[in-house]
Amino acid sequence: MAKILEVTDLCKTYITNKRQNNVLRNVSFSVEEGEMVAVMGPSGSGKSTLLYTVSGMDSMTAGTVLFGGKDISALKPAELAALRLDEMGFIFQQMYMLKNLSVLDNIILPARQSKANTLSAKEKLELGKELMRRLGIIEIADNDINEVSGGQLQRACICRSMINDPKVIFADEPTGALNRQSSNEVMVELCKINAEGTTIMLVTHDARVAAKCSRVLYIVDGNIQGEYNNTGSDEKKRERALNNWLLEQGW
C-alpha cells in the first residue's frame, strides 16, 4: 500500500524561560493507507505533540512531514488550514463543539466551511444525518450539546471528523474521558471506519484501545523507542501480548 504519512527526523523544541525543551528528537516513521496506528508512552513523552505536529496543528522545528506526498512545512498557512479541513479529521479527548449549535449543525460545520466539498447544503445536511444513523445517534440530531451523554457526544465528534471524507483521522485520547462501556462503543465505531478504508492515527494510554490497532509506536523522551505489530484475531490474546511488550518497554 502507498504511504499516506512519511515523517523524517522530526524535531520539536519549545523555549520556556530561555530554557530549551526538546519534546521531539529526530522522530522518523511512516503510516500506510488503511492502517490504524496507536501512539503510546509515559506522560510527557511527546505523544500529543507528535500527533499535533504531523497533522500540521503545531509547527515543527526541524525535519520533514509528507502528507499524501505534500511537504506540510512548505505550505502557506491558508493552504495548511485547507489541507486539515479537507483531508484530515480530528477527534479529541475534550469534545470541542459550539454551544450555540445543535449536534447535527456541529457535525456538518466543517462541510459548510470547506471549499473543496462540492455537495449542496441539502446534501451536506443529509450526509450528516446518514453519519449519525451509522453511529446510532440520529435521535440526538436536534439536541444541544449539553443534552447528551459523553459517549453520544464523542460519536458525534467521529461523525464530524468524517464529514469531509478525510484521508486520515487523527485522534488524541478519543476514549480518555469515557467510561468503559462508552469507550468500547467508540472503539467499535473507529474500527468499522478503519475497516472501510480510512487511515487512523491515535494517541492512547489504554492498552485495550491500542490492542485494536494494527501497529503501536512507543515513544519515550521524544524518541520512538519501539514498534509493535498487532497480529491475530483473538482480542484477549492481542491485548495480553501487547501488555507483555509494553512491560518490556518500561510501561
What does the alpha-carbon distance between residue 251 and residue 243 come to, in Å, rounded to a whole number?
A: 9
Report domain extents, the chain: 3-249
Which parts of the chain register pLDDT below 70? none
Q: Could you say which of 3.50.50.60, 2.60.40.1180, 3.40.50.300, 3.30.43.10 is the CATH number of the domain covering 3-249?
A: 3.40.50.300
Question: How many angstroms separate the CA atoms of 98 and 184, rounded?
Answer: 26
For the stretch 134-155, pLDDT in tens is 999 999 999 999 999 999 999 9
pLDDT given at position 56: 96
What's the pLDDT score for residue 96? 84
**Quick one: which H or E segment has residue 30?**
strand 19-32
The predicted pLDDT at position 233 comes to 83
- Compute the distance between CA of residue 112 and CA of residue 121 in angstroms, rounded to an integer: 7
**pLDDT score, position 18:** 79
